[in-house]
Amino acid sequence: MEGATYMSRTTTTLGAAVLLGAALIPAGAAAQTTRPGFAVNKFEPSERGSDWFASESLDYRGHLRPAIGVVGDYSYRSLLVFEDDGDVRGSVVRNAFFVHAGASLVLFERLRVAFNLPVQAAVDGRTASLSRGGVTTTFLPPPHSGGLGDLRLGADARVFGVYGDPITMAAGVQFWAPTGNEAQYAGDGDWRIKPRVMVAGDVGAFTYAGQVAVNWRAREEKIGAGAIGSELNVTLAAGARLADRKLVVGPELWASTVFAEAFEKKTTPVEAALGAHYLIADQVRVGAGASTGLTRAFSAPVGRVVATVEWAPGVVEDRDGDGVPDREDACPDTRGERSADPDKNGCPPPPPVVAAADRDHDGVPDDSDACPDTPGVRTGDVATNGCRDTDDDGVFDPKDACPAERGVASADPTLNGCPDTDGDGVFDKADACPRERGVPDADPQKNGCPADPDRDKDGINNDVDACPDEPGKPDPDPTKNGCPKAFISAGQIKIIDQVKFKVGSAAIDTGKESLEVLEAVEKVLKDHPEVKHVRVEGHTDKTGSEKTNRKLSADRAAAVVKWLVAAGIAKDRLTSAGFGFDKPIDTNETEQGKKNNRRVEFHIE
């Protein structure tokens, strides 16, 4: 039995014909309608370059690495029409043969783009009718022998892992353009989109792959005992790598279920296959397999045969670029030549025995000796070959700025090979405190010396000073310790205590705490004439109505401006604004939170 999904919409002309026919037929006669076609084939081949027919092996090796090939797909009885009780009414699509032409391209060892174009080489079928609810629906067979299917475009990216790891994960999305012929049951006549997540991996000879996807289809319809529409897609594959890992053999499974009737028998086609793929000379992959539907549902064919051939060049590692693959190269990091001797294959030939001048008798001929008058060793670096490393610090003398002192390597040629006694990253040559770990400093008198423990010189060490760059007084509150009453920071005049007002009033509390804050703000403004304009903002908690709080906050901000003007601050430097409880900085569910929200702020504009 074949399963398929059927689309409910009819064309406008057909709909008009059906309505006209319904008006003309006598009472009691059954109404007649026909169904347009849709994409029946549930087999979606993997992107080219995979070891499986439907699942992805996630081989993202290489840059601009292509894979090009075709997949042949013959299915038998892939669209059956049946009643609720399972009786088959007819085989609408009986024999269908597709050739899937496609290609993929791997970029940057992480991203892959691909396309797949199904070409319906041949198809046939029979007319079938289904009576339901007084309406007889006729399913017409495909009228022609072939045509195009829906073009599939895809892009996916590796999330983690690499090909051959125990687990590799990738994510991507596929799109189907409506290029297929609906009457041929080769296309939906509308766009489809399928985001998906994929995993694959190898554990010894065991290999596996799988994916979960959501296939969004614009067309959704209930048809007899089945339905078509947006669906969940799953593929699974598992098998073994044999014949030096060139042969992959194992079963595969692909299944879907329509969300509108999820996991119902008639809406959940499941197809199982057994197949094999073989890679020839790291270039050409061939494969063949057969499958059958496991459920009596739309798009679960009685039988299917698939075969593939593709050009999919593998990645041959050759680190030294000498044309000898690393797996055969006895010297994989040194360019060499091919040799029949496995111990010499890919290794450079021995140097010819030629009498050469060697003044310092160190075995390095003068013409390649960077230090021809001082005995040294071979290094392979033209700048140091034949030279010595007097202080044995790994930096040879020609590049060592301190050849008699054991040091460390540096990108700065004036410090390369020089010591850093205290290990603080500042070399002794530039370190004002070479025996004390410190920090870099533009001042040569402080470079490499320990950081100042009290930057603002207020007697409170930086590690406990809440304002380490603003001198202040000790305070038992750690958030205020070492802070002045007011100071400029991050575009505001920050205050560490709030200006207090009488309850429910804009009258400033004339207590010592409020006056000290206001006097501190006054001093900052007088000490910083470059601050041309300050906006005084009033804020309240959420007690009371919005209107009352907005007016109260505005009046309080204006009262502060009035005090500062009376204290000698130019009026044109100040404005006020009230925000009520629109901008809380703490919760309004606790008394402390409400207290924090009742505040005045000074914003520099």
Q: 68-121: per-residue pLDDT in tens?
A: 999 999 999 887 776 666 667 777 888 999 999 999 999 998 999 999 999 999
Residue 345 pLDDT greater than 60, yes or no: yes
Residue 370 pLDDT greater than 80, yes or no: yes
297 burial type by CB count under 10 A (0-12 exposed, 13-18 middle, 19+ buried)? buried
* Number of domains forming the structure of the chain: 3
- Rounded mean pLDDT, 402-414: 88
Q: Predicted confidence band at 16 (pLDDT cuts at 50, 70, 90)?
A: very low
- Rounded mean pLDDT, 385-409: 89
Instruction: Report residue 190 as tokens.
Output: 């509308």
pLDDT at site 353: 61
CA distance 301 to 288: 18
Beta strand ranges found along 140-205 (DSSP E): 147-148, 151-160, 168-177, 192-203
Residues 291 and 345 in one domain: no
CA distance 82 to 296: 10
Please report, for the domain that includes residue 79, its CATH number.
2.40.160.40
Tell me the pLDDT tens digit for each residue of 275-290: 999 999 888 999 999 9
- Rounded mean pLDDT, 3-27: 31
pTM of the model: 0.51
In a domain, 407, yes or no: no
Domain end position, chosen among 311, 342, 360: 311
Q: Predicted confidence band at 236 (pLDDT cuts at 50, 70, 90)?
A: very high
Residues 198 and 343 in one domain: no
Residues 321 and 307 in one domain: no
pLDDT at site 253: 96
Residues 261 and 112 in one domain: yes
Which has the closest alpha carbon to 123: 216, 45, 187? 187
Domain end position, chosen among 293, 311, 329: 311
Residues 190 and 331 in one domain: no
Residues 171 and 261 in one domain: yes
Please report, for the domain that includes residue 527, its CATH number.
3.30.1330.60
CA distance 313 to 74: 27
What is the share, in percent, of the chain residues with pLDDT greater than 90?
Answer: 45
Residues 216 and 262 in one domain: yes
- Rounded mean pLDDT, 580-604: 93
Which has the closest alpha carbon to 231: 185, 282, 188, 194? 194
Task: Judge contact between 121 and 100, C-beta under 8 A.
Answer: no
Residues 339 and 235 in one domain: no
In a domain, 157, yes or no: yes
Domain span at residue 553?
485-604
End-to-end CA distance of the chain: 77
pLDDT at site 354: 58
Domain end position, chosen among 257, 290, 311: 311
Residue 258, φ and ψ in degrees, nearest 5: -75, 130
- Rounded mean pLDDT, 142-169: 92
User: For residue 518, what is the enclosing H or E element?
Assistant: helix 512-527
Residues 537 and 564 in one domain: yes
C-beta atoms surrounding 18 within 10 Å: 16
In a domain, 78, yes or no: yes
Q: Which of 26-35, 215-224, 299-308, 408-417 has the lowest mean pLDDT?
A: 26-35
Task: Judge contact between 116 and 78, C-beta under 8 A.
Answer: no
In a domain, 378, yes or no: no
- Rounded mean pLDDT, 19-32: 38
In a domain, 403, yes or no: no
In a domain, 560, yes or no: yes
In a domain, 364, yes or no: no
Residues 346 and 495 in one domain: no
Residues 145 and 36 in one domain: yes
Q: Predicted confidence band at 326 (pLDDT cuts at 50, 70, 90)?
A: confident
Q: Predicted confidence band at 5 (pLDDT cuts at 50, 70, 90)?
A: very low
Mean pLDDT of the chain: 86
Residues 49 and 165 in one domain: yes
In a domain, 153, yes or no: yes
pLDDT at site 8: 32
